Structure 1
Amino acid sequence: MDLASVKDTFERACRKQGVGESSTLECVERILQEVVRAVEKLSVNDADKMENARAVLAELHASVCQIAPIQDISASQKDVNVATLKYGKVLDKAFCTDIAKACRDVDWADESLCQIIAVHFYRQGLFDLGDCFVNEALGPTGASLKAPFVEMFQIVEGIKMKNLDPALTWARSHRAALMQKGSSLEFELHRLQFLQLLLKGLRPEALQYARNNFGPFSVQHMAEIQRLMCCLLWTGRLEMCPYSDLFSVWRWEEMAQRFTRECCSLLGQSYESPLNVTLAAGSQALPTLLKMATVLTSKKQEWQLLKQLPVEIELNKEFQFHSIFACPVSKDQSTAENPPMLMPCCHVLCKQSLQKLAKNRSFKCPYCPAEVTMSQCRPIYF
């Protein structure tokens, strides 16, 4: 993509537009001056008004014809139109405006797609929009999608308003599940509540809160609790506290994100909206897909019939969720039809490579002396 030529053409069009604007304004200003001059003459010459008016208007007509505004403005506008048209052609050449040709027919259940969209609305707190979409696209089958996100959204909004009570209630009710995951969410909520009491100067209340709530977490978080206890000594002058980082305002936003992550995890949902991730990954892959589709079309190959892309598409790490196996013998990437197979010796080849080696008999592993039969191999999943 030659962005330099796009930039040059754009700047040239801008210059033409600027020149055209200046020329048009100058032309209008000259005509206005002639009109003002004619009005002044008409107001001064009272004797024989009709004759004077004719003479003044004839003079005005001659001046306007001499300025030739229509020709001047038309010429300027023509230059602008030519530059704009050229810029449009450069844009069309540099960017593919028809992204539909990169799309392929995919066997995808409409209901699953509608559920992803509905969940995205609910995750964003757009409950009215989500309800409308569910009623029109899913009906009764989508009624259960909303409830978990209503509670999550209300709690997150409470955290942003520095109200931790709903979040603490939720954490207590899900303590067993959080502990099984090794999550420290409940302790972090208590820590933030304790620090909030200190910020208000309520040292006795903060000390009592620590006694009531930090006990169950003393084994895993004793060092952190000791830091919190030291903060009690700095009540009223927390800005001088050696642990002042604990009182940073960004901790509230961090807690909102942390709670959302933990809640989504217990709900069996990813932290990021699947719809957002899909669109972001698709946008990153789109230029490569468009180029590939164009090349295949020029070679009269059917883009829709490809079972595997001829080139690898590089995506950022946040879009890589599964390991990809490439057969060390054939160098082919595994697919549903050609899955990776585990041999008894724990070496792995793709199914088609094993079938070529086996030929209905035992064969030697390419990487060790083990003798293997096809029946001993098992598919593995990453």
Structure 2
Amino acid sequence: MKRKRTTLDAGASSSNGSSSRKAGETHWETSILRAILERGADFHNASTSIIQELIGKIENEIKKAIEALQSSEAGPDSTSIINGLKANITNLAPKYQMESINNGTQASLDMLLMLLDCFFYSDISKAYMQNKHPNPEIVNDILANYLYRNNHFEAGDAFIREAGIPEICTLRSYYKEMHEILRALREHNAAPAIDWIHKINHGHPELVAPRLEFELYSQQYLEMLKSGANPLEAIKFMRTNLTLFDSLYQDEIKKLAGCALWTGRLDESPYADLLLSSKWDKLANDFTEKCLGLLEQPVRCHLTTVCNVGARNLPLLFSLHRIVGDQKEWESIESLPLHNETDVGERCNFHSVFVCQECRETATDVNIPLLLPCRHTLCWWSVLRLSHGGTATFRCPFCSSEVHLNLCVPLHV
């Protein structure tokens, strides 16, 4: 993974400085790699042109020799023509040109490999803390959950069986039902999804948003018309199910009613846009999101999130490991001193991140935010410093109110 060339200060408190330093290093390394790759691409394009030109010249010489042989009747003349062809091809020096191209390509590859070796770690185990083993039950549950929710039921069952942890994933049956419904939706059959909504909403009205149910009924109705079914049956289906949503989606229901006039040839009608296959894809995505929400599961599974965040922050862990140096000290760390530089990406920011305006430090499990009596907020380290270790009162940096550590309330963000 990417190796930071600039030494990072573990005690740095300025997030702006560290962020700009990190961005500068990344830009520098990326610029060098891009330059080498562009140089290699340019050389490849030039080499391709040279090779094509060389092949064209050789083809021309061969064609000339063939024409000369076809027009010549004497044997000795044939020998001289062949010898002339050999001489002409030798003069083109194809072997020398190919060797030159190969040497240039190899030089670019060697340079790229050397830079990759400088900028990337080949051994990611350096960032591993051997004394911090995750709870096996949690890991097994995450892995089983990942396999089942991604429709790998045979692999999930084999994993549970071989690990000797039966019934660790309580959501297996729900995932099984979810994927059976998704399979039906991919086949343009909304009936199983509609039955699922009725079952979920039984005794708990509106647990599933009416929009999803309406879309399912609409697509099922359109599928009946598209297949050339009896228009009266389709109209009966619409009156029975879609008119329930008349107060919410009246305009859309009018369009759907007009579709009945084009039974069997909807693709030629003014309503052809309602038949786009992307609507079924969106239905499947909306159903998946709703199903996972009812199971209290995130749209992106935990394993994917953990791997993405961990991979993004491997360079930071390598830098920290290099700063700490001693393996025992490294394994004793409970939280990252370089947490200001931790990058989880926008998709993995699930809640607000508090940054103390006094010391510019980001809140962590160790450096928690504290609410002062005056309703301003500081981090634990700032309060501890201002109160001289909690032994004295101090003034709020924002409103000058007197505060004591005992009056501060921890916040959870």
Whether the TM-score (by the shorter chain) exceeds 0.5 is yes
Indicate if the aligned counterparts of 1:101 and 1:293 stay in contact, CA closer than 8 A. Answer: no
Write the distance in 1 (CA, Å) between the matches of 2:396 and 2:113.
60
- Once the two structures are TM-superposed, the CA of residue 265 in structure 1 deviates from its matched residue by 0.7
Structure 2 residue corresponding to 1:333, chosen from 356, 359, 362:
362
Read off the aligned partner of 2:399 and give its amino acid letter. C
Indicate if the aligned counterparts of 1:341 and 1:350 stay in contact, CA closer than 8 A. Answer: yes
- Once the two structures are TM-superposed, the CA of residue 303 in structure 1 deviates from its matched residue by 4.3
- Once the two structures are TM-superposed, the CA of residue 9 in structure 1 deviates from its matched residue by 7.2
Query: Which range moved further: 4-13 or 334-343?
Result: 4-13
- Once the two structures are TM-superposed, the CA of residue 86 in structure 1 deviates from its matched residue by 7.0
Write the distance in 2 (CA, Å) between the matches of 1:87 and 1:371.
60
The match for 2:252 is: 224
SS in 1 for 2:168: helix
Read off the aligned partner of 1:247 and give its amino acid letter. L
Write the distance in 1 (CA, Å) between the matches of 2:134 and 2:124.
20
The match for 2:289 is: 261
**Superposed counterparts of 1:305-324, under 5 Å:** 305-306=332-333, 307-310=335-338, 311-324=340-353
Change (3 A) 1:94 1:349: closer
Structure 1 residue runs without a partner (length 5+): 20-71
Read off the aligned partner of 2:311 and give its amino acid letter. S
Structure 2 residue corresponding to 1:201, chosen from 214, 222, 228:
228
SS in 1 for 2:378: strand
Change (3 A) 1:238 1:330: same
TM-score (norm 2): 0.67
- Once the two structures are TM-superposed, the CA of residue 170 in structure 1 deviates from its matched residue by 0.7
Read off the aligned partner of 2:170 and give its amino acid letter. S
- Once the two structures are TM-superposed, the CA of residue 235 in structure 1 deviates from its matched residue by 3.5
- Once the two structures are TM-superposed, the CA of residue 141 in structure 1 deviates from its matched residue by 4.4
Indicate if the aligned counterparts of 1:172 and 1:186 stay in contact, CA closer than 8 A. Answer: no
Change (3 A) 1:9 1:217: closer
Equivalences, count: 330
Read off the aligned partner of 1:194 and give its amino acid letter. Y
The yes-or-no answer on 1:344 pairing with 2:373 is yes
Cα offsets for 1:153-182 (capped at 9, x unmatched)? 111111111222211111111126572464
SS in 2 for 1:352: helix
- Once the two structures are TM-superposed, the CA of residue 283 in structure 1 deviates from its matched residue by 2.9
Indicate if the aligned counterparts of 1:167 and 1:189 stay in contact, CA closer than 8 A. Answer: yes
Write the distance in 2 (CA, Å) between the matches of 1:375 and 1:216.
59
Write the distance in 1 (CA, Å) between the matches of 2:400 and 2:208.
43
The match for 1:136 is: 162
Read off the aligned partner of 2:411 and give its amino acid letter. I
Write the distance in 2 (CA, Å) between the matches of 1:374 and 1:230.
70
The yes-or-no answer on 1:270 pairing with 2:298 is yes
Query: Which range moved further: 254-263 or 352-361?
Result: 352-361
- Once the two structures are TM-superposed, the CA of residue 365 in structure 1 deviates from its matched residue by 3.2
Change (3 A) 1:206 1:372: farther
RMSD: 3.9
Structure 2 residue runs without a partner (length 5+): 1-28, 52-94
**Superposed counterparts of 1:7-156, under 5 Å:** 88-105=113-130, 106=132, 108-137=134-163, 139-142=165-168, 144-156=170-182
Change (3 A) 1:231 1:314: same
| Percent of pairs with identical residues | 31
- Once the two structures are TM-superposed, the CA of residue 301 in structure 1 deviates from its matched residue by 11
Indicate if the aligned counterparts of 1:326 and 1:332 stay in contact, CA closer than 8 A. Answer: yes
Change (3 A) 1:369 1:162: same
TM-score (norm 1): 0.72
Q: Which has the higher contact order (CA 8 A, sep 6+)?
A: 2
Change (3 A) 1:328 1:209: same
